[in-house]
A and B are shown apart, each in its own frame.
Chain A
Amino acid sequence: MGSVRLLVLQALVAVVAIVLWHVLTTYPVFGKILLPPFFFSNPVDVAEQVVKWFVSGVIWKHLWITLWESILAFVIGSVGGVLVGFWFARQPRVAAVFDPYIKMVNALPRVVLAPIFTLWLGLGIWSKVALGVTLVFFIVFFNVYQGVKEVSQTILANGRMLGMNERQLMRHVYWPSALSWIFSSLHTSVGFAVVGAVVGEYLGSAAGLGYLIQQAEGIFDVGGVFAGMFVLAAFVLVIDAVVSIVERRLLVWRPAADSRP
């Protein structure tokens, strides 16, 4: 499929969805409005709300807070995941000892941790960062662990025969191998950093996109909730695009076969 045609079809999906939404919330069908605006709002109100946010400039502060929380959660979670992942992969005994606890914590739904983080770290950004870190850490950790453990034995032997010592093997073999695994999960881990931030804000905060949505919900302003969701979706799309650019830059050495349909 040509890229122009694909773009047109993609836009068509949005247009049809919005038109349907507008028609069903505004005009009666068989004498009855199928989607009552009180529960479903309508596209015009939502668009108005979004425009108002951007025109008055209030949205920037909230976007900035959410972005900052996501970045911090991503960076701290990734650094932690890389360090622990490397450590466990190189020390099988340590990994064996901690294995049940890692599984236990990973199985825990992170939302239940939010109240604890709020108690410990207050209502500011750090309780949200902590929530994001618990999500990002495990994704990066498992990928680094896998990446280091699954380094090709032949490539490892080749490195040794070429004269590499342990430190050089780390730099030229283990690290690039782990990096490719980290990057293959980058979209997921960045997404989870945003999820952690927004959920944390939603459960208790004074700023951020999650806070906006929660405030609108508190006064039954469905239009505000939808508007918050749209801004959030656009925000995630932009971040994802940035990640794609970084990924393409750093993983040039990988065959592109799996990106073709």
Chain B
Amino acid sequence: MAAAVSLNNVDVAFRLADGGTYRAVAQASLTVADGEFVAIVGPTGCGKSTLLNIAAGLLAPFSGGVEIYDAGLSGLNRQAGYLFQADALFPWKTAADNVAIGLEIAGIAASEARARAQQWLSRVGLGTFGDRYPHMLSGGQRKRVGLAQVLIRNPKILLMDEPFGPLDAQTRQIMGNLLLDLWSADKKAVLFVTHDLEEAIALSDRVVIMSAGPAARIIGDWKVPLARPRDIAEIKLDKAFHDLHREIWQVLRAEVIKGYAQTEAA
């Protein structure tokens, strides 16, 4: 089976204002198989979002290779949809227009784009909210619109950067279940970045752990042996969940402390 995303020895470096370079990620290798849900977990500032931007083609690696379905990536990754951490909806478009825009710019007739946008809004539970502007929606509702906006284009790969980070705990759970629901329908390859280990285990097939930066590396890779379909709230009571959580946390804890110490020092 072809890997949807394959990063080979990727190094990421940023030029600093004083002329030096900051090495954010070092020698990162990671593959996401077709239809696989992979979560990247790491302490704050470890460069996990950077790795996601590399896979999206928004950022070019300093060295190393990026392959999308066995083809080298140059420029933007046209097979991927990206759900951002910050609000990325167009504030001047209604929810329906925000969802439809991906189809409209691809040259699909406005009437059809609108009809399909309406279907997608219903799928994310916002069927009657189509004429609202983003500022009239709650944080969770905006994320739902964002999901519909990305998924309507039917990308083969879904990249998610702490998408539920700003939401409260209950809303996160609901959004997590919604995401699993939508994902199970056609099993896209997912790369999901989060700092929340519980969320990572509950959602994904594999959990990848990154060390604290600078020069963050991938230091662990666990398969999640939990059956699907899952319910995010209930699976957290499962014994297998606890065992895995304890095992990964052993590794992650040291990095979190290191990362925290560095952000304090900075």
Contact = CB atoms under 8 A, between A and B. Distances in A.
B82 interface: yes
Interface stretch (B84-92, B112-120, B178-186): B84-92
A6 interface: no
Main secondary structure of the interface of B (DSSP, over half): loop
A47 B76 CA distance: 69
Contacts, number: 63
Contacts of A16: none
Contacts of B92: 176-177, 179-180, 253
Interface residues of B, number: 27
Contact of A161 (B58, B87, B106): B58
A20 interface: no
A154 interface: yes
B163 to A, nearest CB: 12
Interface in B58-115: 58, 76, 78, 80-82, 84, 86-94, 101-102, 105-106
A155 B153 contact: no
A157 B81 CA distance: 11
A184 interface: no
A92 interface: no
A157 B84 contact: yes
B135 interface: yes
Contacts of B88: 152, 154-155, 157-158
A154 B105 CA distance: 18
B191 to A, nearest CB: 13
B133 interface: yes
Contact of A254 (B78, B102, B135, B150): B135
Given A154-B88, A162-B153, A253-B93, A168 B82 contact: no
B216 interface: no
A252 interface: yes
B84 A162 contact: no
A172 interface: yes
Contacts of B175: none
B56 interface: yes
B149 interface: yes
Contacts of A152: 86, 88
A257 B193 CA distance: 33
Contacts of A255: 135
Interface in B134-181: 134-135, 149-150, 153
A164 interface: yes
B87 A160 contact: no
A173 interface: yes
Contacts of B150: 162
25 contacts: A152-B86, A154-B86, A155-B91, A157-B82, A158-B84, A160-B76, A161-B58, A161-B76, A161-B81, A162-B105, A163-B78, A163-B102, A164-B105, A165-B105, A172-B90, A172-B101, A172-B105, A173-B90, A176-B90, A176-B92, A177-B92, A253-B91, A253-B94, A254-B135, A255-B135
Interface of B: 56, 58, 76, 78, 80-82, 84, 86-94, 101-102, 105-106, 133-135, 149-150, 153
